[in-house]
Structure 1
């Protein structure tokens, strides 16, 4: 069983190493897809991800795991694959234009560091037009972000970057984890759940 891991915005493949190690311990072969939002455009990156998945899996069984923007990239890439994954695991992926992305998209430094992809995350029409994968999905949202009138999210549950409501994809159930956005992939529960869900 292959596991394709895609990191989030502003991170590198190194952020997925702990999860990859735990999945290898569960008997999976892991592949880390790296990209740079600052230097790559959306469509070429999606096409490169498709080629990466096809080359690494060679028609064999596989699952996909995406953190934040990584989950968004996977949603765009999956429809073009010849073979579908047996499971999709999305860790704190925005399912709509998040308040955080909309706010930051107005700052020149954010635009410089995140390029076209960062701007697309702030567009409601783009985010809500992404295809919903027709595969078994497991979606996680963090809940340890600050809450209160002085915060961006008010009293809504959030992980510091996106709210639980912004992660919600249609009526699909969410798994809530007491963790922050930037470290949700390191939750032991995520690796344990994948190992339980994926049959040898």
Structure 2
């Protein structure tokens, strides 16, 4: 089984090193995909990712792991795969928004945010563009951190969150399942529990029905 990791906005492929090391030790063949939101727009990053996934699919079964914006890119790329390309065995979304995010909407007009995040930052706050990406047909597990601030100091009005996105922003009915872990957004790819979840799902997947078995 192959595993491709796509990092979040403002991070690098190195952010997934702890997770990938755990998966590699368990027998998966791991790889990463890198991009820069300050140098590329969403469409360009997606196009390169489609090519990367297509090449990966030729080598056999694979899973996709996306942290934050990386998960958004993965959904867009999977939905843009050419006909005949092998679908992913499973998709794992780590703190990846499925709805426009509150923080991106609040920061959308901030000149520093716009300069650093450019097109991808605007996409994360856009109702129309986020809706256009849509769900993926492959089994998909959402992994949500719940160690963000709560109460009056939280921008999420008391809702569970990881400090960057809230539970509602990473939730959707089409997810195969969702698991909550005691982590903040940035540290999700460093969480051993996240690695355990991925390995459990890979091991328990029913190849025939596309669902989980005990």
Q: CA deviation at 1:171?
A: 5.3
Q: Which runs of 5+ in 2 are unaligned?
A: 205-214
Detail structure 1 runs of 4+ shifted over 6 Å in the superposition.
none
Aligned to 1:17: 17
Alignment partner of 1:195 out of 183, 188, 199: 199
- CA RMSD, 1 decimal: 1.4
Aligned to 1:166: 169
Alignment of 1:17-166 (within 5 A): 17-81=17-81, 82-166=85-169
Q: Structure 1 residues 148-157 or 178-187, which shifts more?
A: 148-157
Distance 1:59 1:85 in 2: 12
Q: Which runs of 5+ in 1 are unaligned?
A: none
Q: CA deviation at 1:98?
A: 0.9
Q: CA offsets, 1:146-179, max 9 Å, x none? A: 0112421121000000001111022533211111
Query: Which secondary structure does the structure 2 equivalent of 1:74 belong to?
Result: helix
TM-score, normalising length from structure 2?
0.89
Q: Structure 1 residues 169-178 or 25-34, which shifts more?
A: 169-178
Q: CA deviation at 1:56?
A: 3.3
Q: CA offsets, 1:115-143, max 9 Å, x none? A: 10111101011112212110111101111
Number of equivalenced pairs: 200
TM-score, normalising length from structure 1?
0.95
- Say whether the 8 Å CA contact 2:57–2:87 is kept in structure 1: no
